[in-house]
């Protein structure tokens, strides 16, 4: 009898111990209070006007001020349709076979100036972005108009309900709405005001933006999530010099780095100097690629384009330019870092992923077939942006191309002229970086590969592939859609539409007292800071 | 004296007008404008939207109208609106000016404190080992890029002390120690360079004066060496030094630009670089004119001082 | 030069001093001004390095090597490698070429242009002189770096444009020095005498005045060379200087040096030392030349 009691007590004790020790750190109780210093890599280009820019320099310091309809769960590292949770929307549901999307909004939410938040604000925001004919306001610059090209009209049956009527089914639209790039603007604030200050519904209220120096936030006492935010305030310190940024993080002058700016070597350096720092490698959803002007010779010739793709040793590039801090992948970010990308096995079959010597031999053969050779080398001008990381990548590529008989000179284009030059097709070949606001095929394919899209710098236009884009966009069965997206990625690489060289990995390094900030696989989406707290 | 000042001021005004035309033209020569840059932060280009923004900013008007408009604004005290920040340019510049002025003044003080005594010692102990060593050290200061010196200082600090000076402006009233460190390090980096020039001028000027007859007479008369130097020589040698300090003030700007960048000080010089990169014409134009006015005024002031200090110079 | 009739002998001496051989002059210079000679040696080293760069390099300065990034100085890479695996020694050797070309190019361009302007302005005198002076004031009123920055932004990044950008601020300074020199010579009697004898203006200018401005011109050039090299380094550091793939010492310091400095301090040290050494040498040489050639500015015997 006593033995049985002993065993039961032992079992109970073990159970208790297992529960106590085995439970993950979520049981660590968040503490309220304190402030954190966050790195900002340059002064905000257009203030808090997220809808008029497409850069993390705006999104990262502005997200604390705003809310979306929905957002990617801040506790999950990899984003997908399954990790989307509500922010200003409590619930949502698809109707009519993914043709209508109904959002049921939270009640009692207030803007930072005290005005009530209603469905009117949602309709106002998205009508403005998609440039609806009866939109009451207009954005001076509108980079993501095409994200909502499929929206037919937006209805607000009452103050707490919004209905998006789509022209055709598009399950992905939720992915765009969850991105950091989709905050809700206030209908009673002119969009131009967001360039100088911020009126949002978010967890933090803007206290001061001292130009060139910092952006300071204080806790929003009326935030609709009780008990949040944990922090009393945030300070985004603007540090332009890269060396000074590293020194700042190392010395603790800042607690949180700028997303996407910490290389593998830097994190090793930081960790060596301060062993208690916590490093989390995470995909940035930013890739390096080669753009080639398909409209003009010599890159209108598929053989030459494929030769370029074969010639560049992707893995060597990752080693050379990123000291190993990157991964290979095709048009979508690869597994396990993201959802839609081709894995290592499928990549093997694509141009550029085999053994370096074999690939270069294939490339030389293609060049010969195209009419070039040792006695007739191909001379081109490679363009890239006048930014160190672009230049490093371009230097490497130039070296690779040299080995297959392509002589290139490097021309650095200043930021102000880059996009105009690329859009107008005034270049031959270029080394480029592309960041994607959401890990979703719709956003990526339509922006970068669709006929006539302003950001389709290569002017690649293939009717058959276009149809494939439309097909996958309407596909409601996720498994089927995945296969279709795989097929598109293969086709794009086989066409050398925009050979992807690598996907960047950020070695996000935090001080250990920063809790609740999970770096997500997209630099544009995890800046809300709602769940972040200080342990010390 | 008065007519001299009036004449100089008149010439100064003409010079400023000329400078305004030059800076206005140069800026518009630069490829790309604010609208191109705004679009680059959005990652695309759209011609009709671009035209709309150009019109909104008044940049679609003929250049000479834009120029006259700018001059008219300055004369009424309106510095225009920053293209980038959409707020009055003065509101953007105002908090930055005291930082740069403080850094400039501190740098000059460091330069004088380092330069004058070493120049005197070097002159008095002419051609000795000490003289050579001091000259080499000061020349080294003149030769080192000030941004490199700044970088080495910060990296050294973070490597050995695990600490860097504050990254945002600390008011002296908030935390004097932090404020002092924040400004002394860059002031040392910039001042070291300027001290070299001041040291050389002090030395050469003092040497020239020491060869003068009246000095030799005083020595011959038996007055103690040091008294001779301090009472007679230095008084007369100081003039060129004052001139150089005035000129150095203008050269300082170059050193301030990189030092403010490396040490992350929110000053006007660092801001100027950003404004040039952003083609923020109102800010660049007004800042450059401001610098030009400061330089011209400081030159005028130095000339006036010359007139006061040197009885041989008179302005009829 | 024929000595005009009736001119005092000492003036003739001024115009046509007996010149000892070059070798003797050089020896005298080295003995009297050891610091200047050291500076000259440094400059010579730099010129030789620049000219012989393709033969002095151990690796291709733009070849990347993924397997050996941020390597410490070793037998194979004398000064180590940078973050892309490029050999730093070879880049510094080629950087000498860039610094020399840009520094010398802009100094000569600016000094010659400024010198001609100063010469003509001083010779013409009167209203032309006054107006030219005011125009030059305009250019000189703007600090060197600021003007170079704006010019560089205006013209765009290329070696040629950087040379132009840095030369522009030098023009007014050169013009001022040459003008002062010309004015002092102009007054001398032998020039008046030459004119009285009917020698034409231009001939007077170039045959009589020009050779005597050579001294101040050389001093000016060496003085400006140091600052031209520094301005080029600063422009490159700020991202507005010589573009890739030309290795520039200044850009080597900006690009990734500070980020990786703690793992690889040689990235920050060597380019900085190179710049400092080059400017140091030119300053030493300039000082010594000034002492030798321009007696009025002598700071020491």
Q: How confident is the model at residue C189 (pLDDT cuts 50, 70, 90)?
A: low
CB contact under 8 A, B95 and A273: no
Spatial separation of the C-alpha atoms in residues B200 and B196, rounded to whole Å: 6
Cβ of B84 under 8 Å from any chain C Cβ? no
Spell out the residues 6+ positions from residue B235 whose beta carbon is closer than 8 angstroms to its own.
none
Look up residue A343 and give its two tokens.
């894995």
Spatial CA neighbour of A505 closest among A318, A350, A343: A318
Distances (CA, A) of A390 to A310, A524, B231: 20, 20, 63
Residue A452 sits at φ, ψ, to 5 deg, of 80, 0
pLDDT score of A292: 95
Q: Using one digit for the tens of pLDDT, what is the confidence trace for B205-259?
A: 777 777 776 666 666 666 566 666 566 666 666 766 777 776 666 667 777 888 8
SS (H, E, C) A367-429: HHHCCCECCECEEEEEEEECCHHHHHHHHHHHHHHHCCCEEEEEEEECHHHHHHHHHCCCCCE
Spatial separation of the C-alpha atoms in residues A213 and A395, rounded to whole Å: 33
Q: Using one digit for the tens of pLDDT, what is the confidence trace for B288-306?
A: 888 778 777 777 777 777 6
Cβ of C35 under 8 Å from any chain B Cβ? yes
Higher-pLDDT residue of A292 and B131 is A292
pLDDT score of C297: 46
Segment A83-102 shows an average pLDDT of: 93
CB contact under 8 A, B261 and C265: no
pLDDT score of C300: 36
Is the pLDDT assigned to residue C190 strictly greater than 60?
no
Q: Using one digit for the tens of pLDDT, what is the confidence trace for B186-200?
A: 998 888 888 887 888
Percentage with pLDDT > 90 across chain B: 7
Spatial separation of the C-alpha atoms in residues C119 and C132, rounded to whole Å: 11
Spatial separation of the C-alpha atoms in residues B248 and B199, rounded to whole Å: 12
CB contact under 8 A, B168 and A241: no
CB contact under 8 A, A195 and B168: no
pLDDT score of C13: 40
Spatial separation of the C-alpha atoms in residues A533 and A34, rounded to whole Å: 8
Segment C77-99 shows an average pLDDT of: 85
Look up residue A353 and give its two tokens.
């992923």
- Residue C89 three-state SS: helix
Show residues of chain A in contact with B39, CB under 8 Å.
Answer: 141, 419-420
Spatial CA neighbour of C102 closest among C209, C242, C207, C199: C242
Q: How many CB atoms lie within 10 A of CB B162?
A: 13
Report the b/e string of A228-248 with b at 16+ CB within 10 A. bbbbebbbbbbbbbbbbbbbb
Q: Using one digit for the tens of pLDDT, what is the confidence trace for A372-402?
A: 888 888 999 999 987 778 888 998 898 899 8
Across the interface, of A316, A323, A391, the residue whose CB is closest to C244 is A391
**Residue pairs spanning A and C at CB distance below 8 A:** 71
- Between A451-455, B1-5, B126-130, B197-201, the lowest mean confidence (pLDDT) is in B1-5
CB contact under 8 A, B251 and C144: yes
Cβ of B281 under 8 Å from any chain A Cβ? no
**How far A399 CA sits from the closest chain C CA (Å)?**
7
Would you say A493 and A499 are in contact if contact means Cβ atoms under 8 Å apart? Answer: yes
Judge if the upstream peptide bond of residue C62 is cis by omega within 30 degrees of 0: no
Cα torsion angle, C165, C171, C173, C174, sign: positive
Spatial separation of the C-alpha atoms in residues A254 and A236, rounded to whole Å: 9
Show residues of chain C in contact with A320, CB under 8 Å.
Answer: 64-66, 69, 84-85
Across the interface, of C62, C239, C263, the residue whose CB is closest to A395 is C62
pLDDT score of A182: 95
Quote the Cα angle for C203-C206-C210, to 5°: 150
Cα torsion angle, B272, B274, B277, B280, sign: negative
Spatial separation of the C-alpha atoms in residues A233 and A219, rounded to whole Å: 5
Higher-pLDDT residue of B187 and C161 is B187
Containing A161, the helix (H) or strand (E) segment is: strand A161-166
Containing A119, the helix (H) or strand (E) segment is: helix A119-129
Judge if the upstream peptide bond of residue A2 is cis by omega within 30 degrees of 0: no
pLDDT score of B14: 81
Burial class (CB in 10 A: 0-12, 13-18, 19+), B205: buried
Average pLDDT value over all residues in chain C: 76
CB contact under 8 A, B139 and C283: yes
pLDDT score of A294: 93
- Between A94-103, A490-499, B6-15, the lowest mean confidence (pLDDT) is in B6-15
DSSP string for residues in A57-106? HHHHHHGGG---SEEE-TT-SS--GGGEEESSEEEEEEETTTTEEEEEEP
* ipTM of the complex in this document: 0.83
Give the chain A residue whose CA is nearest to the CA of B270: A212
Q: How confident is the model at residue A517 (pLDDT cuts 50, 70, 90)?
A: very high
Report the b/e string of A487-519 with b at 16+ CB within 10 A. ebbbbbbebbbbbbbbbbbbbbbbbeebbbbbb
CB contact under 8 A, B254 and C143: yes
Is the pLDDT assigned to residue B150 strictly greater than 50?
yes
Distances (CA, A) of C4 to C189, C193, C197: 11, 7, 8
Give the chain A residue whose CA is nearest to the CA of C251: A388
- Between A169-178, A227-236, A481-490, C20-29, the lowest mean confidence (pLDDT) is in C20-29
pTM, two decimals, is 0.85
Would you say A59 and A181 are in contact if contact means Cβ atoms under 8 Å apart? Answer: yes
Percentage with pLDDT > 70 across chain B: 84
Show residues of chain A in contact with C258, CB under 8 Å.
Answer: 241-244, 246
- Between B30-39, B130-139, C183-192, the lowest mean confidence (pLDDT) is in C183-192
- Between A209-218, A272-281, A391-400, the lowest mean confidence (pLDDT) is in A391-400
Look up residue A462 and give its two tokens.
């293939």
Spatial separation of the C-alpha atoms in residues A256 and A231, rounded to whole Å: 14
pLDDT score of C16: 45
- Residue A48 three-state SS: strand
Higher-pLDDT residue of A516 and C219 is A516
Matching residue, tokens 């284009």: A413
DSSP string for residues in C144-165? HHHHHHHHHHHH-SSHHHHHHH
Q: Which residues of A touch C (CB under 8 A)?
A: 241-244, 246, 263, 265-266, 268-269, 272-273, 316-317, 319-321, 323, 386, 388, 391-392, 394-396, 398-399, 410-412, 414
Is the pLDDT assigned to residue A94 strictly greater than 70?
yes
DSSP string for residues in chain B? -HHHHHHHHHHHHHHHHHHHHHHHHHHHHSS--HHHHHHHHHT---HHHHHHHHHHTTTTS-HHHHHHHHHHHHHTT---B-TTT-SBHHHHHGGGHHHHHHHHHHHHHHHHHHHHHHHHHHHHTTTSHHHHHHHHHHHHHHHS-HHHHHHHHHHHHHHHTS----SS---TTT-HHHHHHHHHHHHHHHHHHHHHHHHHHHHHHHHHHHTSHHHHHHHHTT--HHHHIIIIIHHHHHHHHHHHHHHHHHHHHHHHHHHHHHHT---HHHHHHHHHHTT-HHHHHHHHHHHHHHHHHHHHHHHHHHHHH-TT----
- Would you tell me which residues 101-140 of chain B have a C-beta closer than 8 angstroms to some C-beta of chain A? none
Distances (CA, A) of C16 to C2, C185, C195, C213: 10, 14, 18, 14
**Residue pairs spanning A and B at CB distance below 8 A:** 130
Spell out the residues 6+ positions from residue A498 whose beta carbon is closer than 8 angstroms to its own.
A289, A290, A291, A292, A331, A448, A449, A457, A458, A460, A492
Show residues of chain A in contact with C261, CB under 8 Å.
Answer: 243
pLDDT score of A135: 92
Is the pLDDT assigned to residue B119 strictly greater than 70?
yes
Looking at the DSSP assignment, which residues form a beta bridge with residue A410?
A: A382
Show residues of chain B in contact with C284, CB under 8 Å.
Answer: 139
Higher-pLDDT residue of C149 and A473 is A473
Is the pLDDT assigned to residue B262 strictly greater than 90?
no
Is the pLDDT assigned to residue C299 strictly greater than 50?
no
As a whole number of angstroms, the longest Cα–Cα distance in chain C is 80
């Amino acid at each position: 009898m006593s033995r049985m009691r002993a065993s039961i007590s032992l079992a109970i004790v073990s159970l208790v111990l297992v529960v106590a020790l085995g439970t993950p750190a979520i049981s660590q109780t968040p503490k309220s209070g304190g402030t954190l210093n966050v790195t900002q890599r340059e002064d905000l280009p257009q203030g808090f006007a997220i809808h008029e820019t497409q850069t993390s320099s705006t999104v990262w310091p502005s997200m604390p001020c705003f809310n979306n309809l929905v957002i990617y769960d801040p506790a999950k590292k990899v984003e997908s349709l399954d990790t989307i949770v509500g922010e200003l929307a409590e619930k949502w549901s698809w109707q009519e076979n993914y043709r209508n999307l109904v959002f049921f909004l939270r009640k009692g939410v207030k803007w930072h100036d005290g005005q009530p938040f209603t469905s009117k604000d949602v309709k106002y925001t998205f009508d403005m972005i998609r440039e609806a004919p009866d939109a009451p306001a207009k954005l001076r610059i509108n980079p993501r108009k095409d994200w909502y090209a499929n929206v037919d009209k937006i209805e607000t049956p009452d103050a707490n309900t919004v209905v998006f009527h789509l022209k055709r089914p598009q399950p992905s639209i939720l992915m765009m709405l969850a991105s950091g790039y989709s905050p809700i603007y206030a209908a009673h604030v002119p969009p131009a005001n967001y360039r100088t200050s911020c009126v949002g519904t978010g967890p933090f209220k803007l206290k001061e933006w001292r130009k060139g120096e910092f952006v300071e936030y204080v806790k929003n006492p009326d935030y609709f999530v009780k008990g949040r935010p944990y922090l009393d305030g945030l300070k985004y310190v603007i540090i332009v010099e890269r060396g000074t940024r590293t020194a700042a993080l190392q010395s603790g002058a800042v607690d949180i780095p700028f997303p996407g700016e910490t290389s593998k070597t830097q994190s090793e350096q930081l960790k060596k100097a301060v062993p208690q720092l916590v490093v989390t490698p995470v995909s940035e959803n930013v890739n390096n690629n080669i753009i080639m002007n398909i409209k003009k010779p010599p890159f209108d010739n598929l053989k030459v384009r494929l030769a370029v793709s074969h010639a560049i040793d992707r893995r060597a590039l990752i080693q050379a330019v990123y000291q190993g801090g990157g991964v290979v992948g095709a048009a979508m970010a690869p597994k396990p870092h993201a959802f839609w990308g081709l894995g290592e096995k499928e990549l093997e079959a694509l141009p550029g992923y085999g053994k370096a010597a074999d690939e270069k031999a294939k490339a030389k053969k293609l060049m010969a077939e195209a009419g070039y050779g040792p006695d007739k080398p191909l001379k081109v001008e490679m363009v890239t942006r006048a930014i160190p990381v672009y230049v490093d990548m371009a230097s490497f590529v130039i070296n690779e191309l040299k080995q297959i008989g392509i002589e290139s000179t490097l021309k650095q284009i200043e930021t102000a002229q880059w996009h105009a030059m690329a859009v107008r097709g005034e270049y031959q070949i270029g080394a480029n970086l592309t960041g994607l606001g959401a890990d979703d095929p719709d956003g990526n394919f339509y922006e970068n590969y669709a006929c006539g899209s302003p950001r389709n710098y290569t002017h690649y236009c293939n009717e058959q592939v276009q149809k494939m884009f439309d097909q996958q966009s309407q596909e409601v069965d996720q498994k089927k859609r995945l296969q279709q997206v795989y097929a598109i990625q293969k086709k794009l690489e086989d066409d050398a539409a925009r050979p992807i060289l690598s996907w960047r990995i950020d070695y996000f390094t935090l001080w250990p007292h920063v809790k609740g900030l999970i770096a997500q696989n997209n630099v544009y989406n995890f800046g809300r800071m709602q769940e972040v707290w200080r342990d010390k | 004296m008065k007519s001299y000042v009036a004449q100089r001021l008149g010439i100064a005004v003409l010079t400023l007008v000329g400078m305004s035309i030059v800076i206005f033209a140069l800026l518009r020569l630069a490829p790309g404008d604010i609208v191109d840059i705004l679009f680059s932060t959005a990652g695309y280009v759209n011609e009709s939207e671009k035209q709309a923004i150009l019109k909104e900013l008044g940049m679609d008007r003929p250049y000479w109208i834009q120029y006259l408009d700018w001059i008219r604004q300055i004369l009424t005290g309106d510095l225009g609106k920053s293209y980038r920040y959409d707020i009055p340019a003065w509101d953007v510049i105002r908090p930055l000016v005291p930082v740069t002025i403080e850094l400039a003044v501190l740098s000059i003080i460091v330069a004088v404190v380092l330069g004058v005594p070493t120049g005197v010692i070097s002159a008095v102990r002419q051609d000795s080992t000490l003289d050579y060593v001091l000259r080499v050290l000061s020349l080294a200061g003149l030769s080192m890029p000030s941004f490199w010196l700044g970088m080495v200082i910060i990296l050294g600090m973070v490597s050995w002390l695990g600490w860097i000076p504050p990254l945002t402006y600390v008011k002296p009233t908030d935390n004097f120690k932090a404020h002092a460190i924040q400004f002394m390090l860059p002031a040392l980096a910039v001042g070291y360079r300027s001290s070299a020039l001041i040291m050389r001028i002090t030395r050469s000027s003092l040497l020239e004066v020491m060869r003068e007859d009246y000095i030799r007479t005083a020595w011959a008369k038996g007055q103690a060496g040091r008294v001779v130097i301090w009472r007679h020589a230095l008084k007369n040698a100081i003039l060129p030094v004052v001139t150089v300090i005035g000129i150095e003030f203008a050269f300082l700007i170059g050193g301030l630009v990189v030092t403010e960048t490396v040490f992350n000080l929110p000053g006007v010089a660092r801001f100027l670089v950003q404004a040039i990169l952003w083609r923020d014409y109102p800010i660049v134009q007004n800042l450059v004119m401001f610098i030009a006015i400061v330089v011209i005024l400081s030159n005028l002031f130095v000339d006036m001082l010359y007139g006061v200090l040197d009885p041989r110079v008179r302005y009829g | 030069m024929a000595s005009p009739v009736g001119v005092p002998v000492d003036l003739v001496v001024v115009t046509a001093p007996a010149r000892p051989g070059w070798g003797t002059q050089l020896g005298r210079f080295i003995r009297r001004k050891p610091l200047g000679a050291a500076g000259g040696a440094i400059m010579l080293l730099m010129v030789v390095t620049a000219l012989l760069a393709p033969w002095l390099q151990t690796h291709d300065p733009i070849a990347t090597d993924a397997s050996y990034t941020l390597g410490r100085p070793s037998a194979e890479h004398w000064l180590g490698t940078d973050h892309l695996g490029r050999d730093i020694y070879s880049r510094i050797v080629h950087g000498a070429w860039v610094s020399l070309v840009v520094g010398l190019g802009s100094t000569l361009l600016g000094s010659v242009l400024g010198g001609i302007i100063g010469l003509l302005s001083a010779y013409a005198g009167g209203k032309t002189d006054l107006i030219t002076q005011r125009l030059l004031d305009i250019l000189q009123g703007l600090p060197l770096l600021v003007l170079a920055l704006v010019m560089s932004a205006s013209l765009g990044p290329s070696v040629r444009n950087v040379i132009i950008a840095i030369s522009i601020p030098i023009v007014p300074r050169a013009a001022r020095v040459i003008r002062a020199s010309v004015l002092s010579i102009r007054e001398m009697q032998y020039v008046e005498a030459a004119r009285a004898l009917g020698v034409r203006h231009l001939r007077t200018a170039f045959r009589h005045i020009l050779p005597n401005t050579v001294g101040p011109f050389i001093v000016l050039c060496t003085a400006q060379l140091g600052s031209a090299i520094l301005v080029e380094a600063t422009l490159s550091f700020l991202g507005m200087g010589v573009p890739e793939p030309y290795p520039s010492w200044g850009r080597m310091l900006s690009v990734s040096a500070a980020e990786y400095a703690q793992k690889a301090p040689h990235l920050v040290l060597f380019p900085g030392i190179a710049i400092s050494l080059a400017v140091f040498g030119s300053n030493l040489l300039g000082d010594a030349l000034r002492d030798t050639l321009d007696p009025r500015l002598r700071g020491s015997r």
